[in-house]
């Protein structure tokens, strides 16, 4: 079912307002009134779309992780990608495009919930890739996936917290080289 454009614009305005506020102050200090004022909608409109600010946070996280998966899947199938470095470039491009969201979620350790969900998301995708390769290895795929995901999320945090000092292509190549050097690259 496709969302009405007005509804989509309203939800986008609410989400953007929330993320801006989240990057400015602690989650506990944000009120529905703050969000509605910033989004230029009334409080009832916010409640029409979200139960409360916790629901709004949860839906923002869920939506961005779905978009990331869709974005990466689309780029992978479209380009016939064969190396981890070229698979990583679209990830960093997506992070760059959605900087407001990711910086709000990762700055100053404001939300451990997001970091945990991102770690689960990355780990599950890496494990799926490792399992599909059928490589004979002494390293348990689940442990390898956790290790790689932790390293990757740590690099993403560094990159976001430092205002993306390097372009996505450079980041993808560097992460690939780190994984390759440490013999943890899938494949």
pLDDT at residue 166, as a whole number: 95
Fold of 1-50: Arc Repressor Mutant, subunit A (1.10.10)
Torsion of CA 35, 36, 40, 46, to 10 degrees: 110
The tokens for 33 are 């009134």
- Considering only 9-23, 73-87, 147-161, which range has the smallest mean pLDDT? 73-87
Half-sphere exposure of 2 (CA within 13 A, CB side): 3
What does the block give as tokens for 122? 């990355």
Domains 1-50 and 59-181 share a fold: no
Contact 36, 42 (CB under 8 A): yes
Average pLDDT, stretch 139-144?
A: 84
* Mean confidence (pLDDT) of the chain: 83
- For the chain, the domains span 1-50, 59-181
Question: In percent, how much of the chain has pLDDT > 90?
Answer: 33
Packed helices 84-97 and 99-106: angle between N→C axes, nearest 10 degrees = 90
pTM of the model: 0.72
Residue length of the chain = 187
Quote the CATH superfamily of domain 59-181: Tetracycline Repressor, domain 2 (1.10.357.10)
Ramachandran area for residue 186 (φ above 0: left; ψ -120 to 50: alpha; else beta): beta
Reduce the secondary structure of 27-79 to three states and give it as a string: HHHCCHHHHHHHHCCCHHHHHHHCCCHHHHHHHHHHHHHHHHHHHHHHHHHHH
Q: What is the mean pLDDT of residues 153-165?
A: 91
Closest CA to 109 of 149, 62, 70, 157: 157
Name the one residue in this structure whose structure tokens are 């139960």. 51
């Amino acid at each position: 079912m496709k969302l009405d454009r007005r509804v989509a614009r309203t939800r986008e305005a609410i989400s953007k307002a929330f993320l801006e506020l989240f990057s400015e102050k602690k989650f506990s200090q944000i009120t529905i009134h703050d969000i509605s004022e910033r989004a230029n909608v009334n409080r009832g409109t916010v409640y029409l779309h979200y139960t409360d600010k916790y629901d709004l946070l949860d839906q923002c996280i869920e939506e961005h992780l779905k978009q990331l998966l869709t974005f990466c899947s689309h780029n992978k199938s479209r380009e016939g990608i064969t190396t981890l470095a070229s698979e990583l470039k679209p990830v960093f491009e997506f992070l760059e495009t959605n900087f407001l969201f990711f910086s709000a979620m990762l700055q100053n350790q404001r939300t451990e919930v997001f970091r945990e969900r991102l770690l689960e998301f990355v780990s599950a995708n890496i494990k799926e890739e490792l399992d599909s390769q059928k490589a004979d290895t002494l390293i348990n795929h689940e442990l390898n996936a956790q290790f790689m995901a932790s390293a990757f999320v740590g690099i993403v945090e560094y990159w976001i917290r430092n205002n993306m000092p390097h372009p996505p292509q450079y980041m993808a190549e560097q992460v690939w080289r780190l994984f390759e050097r440490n013999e943890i690259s899938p494949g």
